[in-house]
Structure 1
């Protein structure tokens, strides 16, 4: 009898490089929107930075992915919104490990509100506005994570054909309590334990969605993904009191998320048990 693989394949490098890059504020969370020419994060935003230092063999083994279209999958020290990252998804040909763009389609209501604000701003400057064209070309940087899975916008993607799991080894949240006066807000990093073993977010993916991600790109068609959030556990709450990602902690939960009827899979949208998450010491969390 073959032993069931465990969720502990990744190892951290001796030292991670110091990053000077930052999120440009182009992405939003759930069903909220703000606009000053770009998308902006609002209070409910959670987990817009993670890392994935494991390997594709471990990912395939745990998720039973039979197809791998990622090529040579390199470790990702920093994964930011709107970039390509590995997910495991259901496809007609079988379970696939694939690189997909991070940021699900935002709701039509959010885009309408954003286009309305843009139109109002242009009219104040005396410019003529074709609102339908403006709405069509309104940039949508993507919704990185989903809380209200029963909303009309998200219900269409509840089926197993749109579910995915997102591999990671640690995720970050800004820690306001650690901010120095006049400086940036440092990140607090979280993982299963200090060795940062492989774990998985529960997610949705959407095939071949046409939208304007960035004005300079124009209309593009891409596969998109994002992951679910839920109430924070006791480890997460001191840093982010409103939410944390939905983490699948074992192979059975991964299989349930990828195959079970919605009502059964929906029950996995709950906080990770406190004993399955740690905040990494500063020396292990440089990013």
Structure 2
């Protein structure tokens, strides 16, 4: 008998008469975490039937995580259901190409550039405080590095340098510590598991997709929201890899001039963790940004996701101030006509260039 850890959302499990599937994280068998209360779970099940009486659902397990898969015959019903519950929408042909579905979170946009200037950022975001000092344009920003964000603080809206990578889930840390403990046990070494768990390195989660997860829900409040300025972002482009060479990046921007744009982000103050073993236990402010389904520009390069991008001052204000029910609607793909693929990687811009935001 196959274990539930082998119960993947595979090709043979899909209902071809109900080809549009919305996948929602349902909980972790190992950590005991769940996405919602039992009442909210009931609301999710009821809302699927309300949208389409013939819809079906079943459970699928990926490692220790449980997902509930909702199957619809009508794609619009599936889309509405996805938008309401922050699920991930796939069709049968996507899974047929891959053989089995795997979770999407945390595997997109780990490189971006910020070539604008702090005056432009402050002007567009109405930041009243600037603690960045002399902020230089940065052609490449990588995970676990310091990067500028505009965040809400008790003292006012602030432009600040913060470390990229939010805390990983307790489940992920537990699994990593368990593997380390197993390795020590095989070597016959003694250890204190709680201390091992406390000191388990966490390089951080660079992107947030499943905002309905219990892990992320605690930071839905406006006080934890931020916007992340950027001028272009990159995705690996395996199709353009030369024989025997390295996989190049495809760079995306609003247009060839790389105007200032913003990711919808979340920040966490004074989080204690071990980012790197050589650093030991530290306390730091952390940030990340949301991802969503790719638009038609990004999808040929990266089929799984793209960053959630804010396009004007109204959206920036909404993200930074509105109730979560309203702000969360900004986790959506950018319109196809608002993004291009650059012919070359961005290198520099005039730091005194006229500030411009994608409209």
State TM-score, norm by structure 1: 0.84
Alignment of 1:222-237 (within 5 A): 222-237=284-299
Measured at CA, do residues 286 and 64 of structure 1 come closer, stay the same or move farther in structure 2, by a change above 3 Å?
closer
* Two-structure CA RMSD over aligned residues (Å): 1.7
In the alignment, structure 1 residue 265 sits paired with structure 2 residue 327: yes
Please, which runs of 5 or more residues in structure 2 have no aligned partner?
1-34, 36-61, 64-102, 349-359
1:56 to 118, 122, 136: 118
In the alignment, structure 1 residue 124 sits paired with structure 2 residue 186: yes
2:237 matched to which residue of 1?
A: 175
In the alignment, structure 1 residue 138 sits paired with structure 2 residue 200: yes
| Structure 1 CA distance for aligned equivalents of residues 277 and 224 of structure 2 | 27
Alignment of 1:88-237 (within 5 A): 88-237=150-299
Per-residue CA deviation, residues 78-108 of structure 1 (Å, 9 max, x unaligned), is: 1000110100000001000000000000000
Q: CA deviation at 1:179?
A: 1.2
| Structure 2 CA distance for aligned equivalents of residues 152 and 239 of structure 1 | 31
Task: Say whether the 8 Å CA contact 2:264–2:289 is kept in structure 1.
Answer: yes
Per-residue CA deviation, residues 34-69 of structure 1 (Å, 9 max, x unaligned), is: xxxxxxxx9750000000000000000000000000
1:242 matched to which residue of 2?
A: 304
Per-residue CA deviation, residues 181-210 of structure 1 (Å, 9 max, x unaligned), is: 332110000000010000000000000000
1:75 matched to which residue of 2?
A: 137
1:13 matched to which residue of 2?
A: none
Please, which runs of 5 or more residues in structure 1 have no aligned partner?
1-30, 34-41
Q: What SS does structure 2 have at the residue aligned with 1:148?
A: coil
Task: Say whether the 8 Å CA contact 2:113–2:346 is kept in structure 1.
Answer: no
Per mean C-alpha deviation after superposition, the further-off stretch among 263-272 and 121-130 is 121-130
1:20 matched to which residue of 2?
A: none
Task: Say whether the 8 Å CA contact 2:139–2:346 is kept in structure 1.
Answer: no
State TM-score, norm by structure 2: 0.67
Per mean C-alpha deviation after superposition, the further-off stretch among 105-114 and 181-190 is 181-190
Q: CA deviation at 1:126?
A: 1.6
1:253 to 315, 323, 328: 315
| Structure 1 CA distance for aligned equivalents of residues 222 and 150 of structure 2 | 12
Task: Say whether the 8 Å CA contact 1:169–1:191 is kept in structure 2.
Answer: yes
Higher relative contact order (CA 8 A, sep 6+): 1
User: Which of the pair is proportionally richer in helix?
Assistant: 2
Q: CA deviation at 1:129?
A: 2.2
Q: What SS does structure 2 have at the residue aligned with 1:194?
A: coil
Task: Say whether the 8 Å CA contact 2:150–2:157 is kept in structure 1.
Answer: yes
Per-residue CA deviation, residues 18-47 of structure 1 (Å, 9 max, x unaligned), is: xxxxxxxxxxxxx999xxxxxxxx975000
Task: Say whether the 8 Å CA contact 1:188–1:285 is kept in structure 2.
Answer: no
2:94 matched to which residue of 1?
A: none
2:97 matched to which residue of 1?
A: none
| Structure 1 CA distance for aligned equivalents of residues 347 and 123 of structure 2 | 29
| Structure 2 CA distance for aligned equivalents of residues 286 and 43 of structure 1 | 30
| Structure 1 CA distance for aligned equivalents of residues 243 and 281 of structure 2 | 41
Measured at CA, do residues 235 and 88 of structure 1 come closer, stay the same or move farther in structure 2, by a change above 3 Å?
same
Task: Say whether the 8 Å CA contact 2:263–2:310 is kept in structure 1.
Answer: yes
Per-residue CA deviation, residues 143-165 of structure 1 (Å, 9 max, x unaligned), is: 00100011000000000000000
2:146 to 84, 94, 101: 84
Q: CA deviation at 1:119?
A: 0.7
Q: What SS does structure 1 have at the residue aligned with 2:124?
A: helix
Runs of 4+ in 1 over 3 A off after TM superposition: 284-287
